[in-house]
Amino acid sequence: MKIFLLTPGTGSYHCGVCMRDNALAKELHRQGHDAVVLPMYLPLTLDEAAASPDTRIFFGGINVYLQQKFAIFRHTPRWLDALFNQRWLLKLVAGSAASQTGGAEIGELTHSMLLGEDGKQGKELDELIAWMRQHGKPDAVWLSTALLTGLARRITRELGIPVIGSLQGEDSFLDSLAEPWRTRCWDTLAERSRDVAAFVAPSHYYADLMGQRMKLTPAKLRVIPNGIAPEDFTPAPAPPPLAIGYLARMIAGKGLGTVVDAFILLKKRGHFPAAKLLVAGAMTAGDEAYVESLKTKLYVAGCGADAEFHSNVSREEKGSFLRRCTLLSVPATYGEAFGLYIPEAWAAGVPVVQPDCAAFTELVAATGAGALFEPANVESLVSAWEKLLADPAAAHALGAKGREAVERDYTIARMAERFVALTRESIDAVPTAR
């Protein structure tokens, strides 16, 4: 089966969706399928070799912005567009683009992309479909985010193939937009979702949430948990020295500030004076000021020497980092759809301590490989930490349960098999739908 995966890149920091799609494409290759990752907007920033290293970038970020702002760029020749699509130039602008969320310009641009052929980037969609024809029509197209739903109508009509969309984190992004664009984007997303054969959510929590907000019928929704390659992560042979780990982008929304506050309180309680705080994850230039403020806070509290920060770690560094952790906490302050860091920690034999909300509740309940605490309650978080820190052997045993759960339910191979089954089902349904 031939599949094209459309995946927006970040250009400047590791993105869980990018890494998931890249791993998915590589697994599809291993299973005998022809899967091609088509980067959009900016180059992909990965922690492993790219599955499709020579593929051009579609809807280049500079061109998309210029077409949004100035009508003349909606009619410029392709040779001029190609100049703005050079990877080095896109990476140059990626840092500033990463910090632009929620403003009126972003809302207007998001709405235009959701409009697809009726938006201001119509010629980019023309180019994408022409490229697909030239390089062998695929059997299906996968969209890594529902924010690309506007592309589905023309792809399905012109190529006669199903388009399948993934759901992951769109609600927090759309809710951050300024009005009137927030409402317009939600309404257009619901209307354009009719053009997608099926949507896949990584958790039941997120399927229910987005099903309601996008007005999707149950038949259009599937739950396929995200998967990883467990062989990339090796558990520590014995419980490591006491350490609390955080592995996610270094921003407030992922709960890094909560972890820092909790670590300071843990130190003040005095039961575990030797405990360390280990922080790793993606960090952009726009995140540096926030991270520095947290480091200062730790030093003022007398805890700075017990905390480490490691930004933009590689796959190998991530594995080594996790082996040093007694437990992992990423107390995201928004409704996390899944959290790829959860199975990564489990694969390394590390239990998790997460807020009792969003996808965390069902993940921990399904595996027993961690503990839950009262959301937005730092004292509850510290108490949950202390229970595991007081019994490293028990924490290690919970981590082993997590490893078993990953090998059973959260592998990239199992995820790929489920996606392929849904794709075959969607292909069979196309003639009837048309």
103-149 residue pLDDT tens = 578 999 999 999 999 999 999 999 999 999 999 999 999 999 999 99
363-379 residue pLDDT tens = 999 999 999 999 999 99
Mean per-residue pLDDT, 142-158: 97
Backbone angles phi, psi at 352, to 5 degrees: -120, 150
Q: Measured between alpha carbons, how far is 354 from 380 in angstroms, rounded to an integer?
A: 11
- Residues 6 or more apart whose CB falls under 8 angstroms from that of 222 comprise 198, 199, 200, 201, 207, 418, 422
* Confidence band, pLDDT 50/70/90 cuts, at residue 268: very high
Spatial CA neighbour of 346 closest among 367, 362, 361 = 367
Look up the pTM and report it: 0.92
Spatial CA neighbour of 58 closest among 73, 74, 43 = 43
The total of other beta-carbon atoms located within 10 Å of residue 134's CB is 8
Structural domains of the chain ordered from first start: 2-227+412-433 (3.40.50.2000), 230-409 (3.40.50.2000)
pLDDT of 433 over the 60 cut? no
What does pLDDT average to over the chain?
93
H/E stretch holding 40: strand 34-40
Q: Residue type for 101, please?
A: T
Contact 22, 229 (CB under 8 A): no
- Residues 6 or more apart whose CB falls under 8 angstroms from that of 54 comprise none
What does the radius of gyration of the chain's CA atoms come to, in whole angstroms?
22
pLDDT reported for residue 286: 87
Site of tokens 């399948």:
164
Assign 47 to helix, strand or coil: coil
Assign 408 to helix, strand or coil: helix
pLDDT of 40 over the 50 cut? yes
pLDDT reported for residue 51: 85
Assign 225 to helix, strand or coil: coil
* Confidence band, pLDDT 50/70/90 cuts, at residue 184: very high
Site of tokens 């993940």:
363
pLDDT reported for residue 431: 62
pLDDT reported for residue 13: 67
pLDDT reported for residue 214: 97
Contact 405, 366 (CB under 8 A): yes
Assign 222 to helix, strand or coil: strand
Least confidently predicted of 51-65, 91-105, 279-293 = 91-105
Interior/surface letters 277-307, b for 16+ CB within 10 angstroms, e for the rest? bbbbbbbbebbeeebeebeebbeeeebeebb
Q: Look up residue 305 and give its two tokens.
A: 């020497």
Contact 230, 347 (CB under 8 A): yes
297-350 residue pLDDT tens = 999 999 999 999 999 998 899 999 999 999 999 999 889 999 999 999 999 999
Q: Which long-range contacts (CB under 8 A, 24 or more apart) does 121-128 make?
A: 121/59, 121/63, 121/64, 121/67, 121/68, 121/74, 122/74, 123/67, 123/74, 123/75, 124/58, 124/59, 124/63, 124/64, 124/67, 125/151, 125/154, 127/58, 127/78, 128/38, 128/58, 128/59
Interior/surface letters 197-214, b for 16+ CB within 10 angstroms, e for the rest? bbbbbbbebbbebbbeeb
Spatial CA neighbour of 45 closest among 70, 79, 11 = 11
Cα-Cα-Cα-Cα dihedral sign, residues 82, 85, 86, 92: positive
The DSSP code for 58 is: B
- Residues 6 or more apart whose CB falls under 8 angstroms from that of 204 comprise 223, 362
Q: Measured between alpha carbons, how far is 14 from 4 in angstroms, rounded to an integer?
A: 21
DSSP 174-199: HHTSPTTHHHHHHHHHHHHGGGSSEE
* Confidence band, pLDDT 50/70/90 cuts, at residue 95: low
Q: Measured between alpha carbons, how far is 197 from 381 in angstroms, rounded to an integer?
A: 41
Site of tokens 């992992």:
328
Assign 281 to helix, strand or coil: strand
> Angle at CA 141, nearest 5°, toward 85 and 181?
65
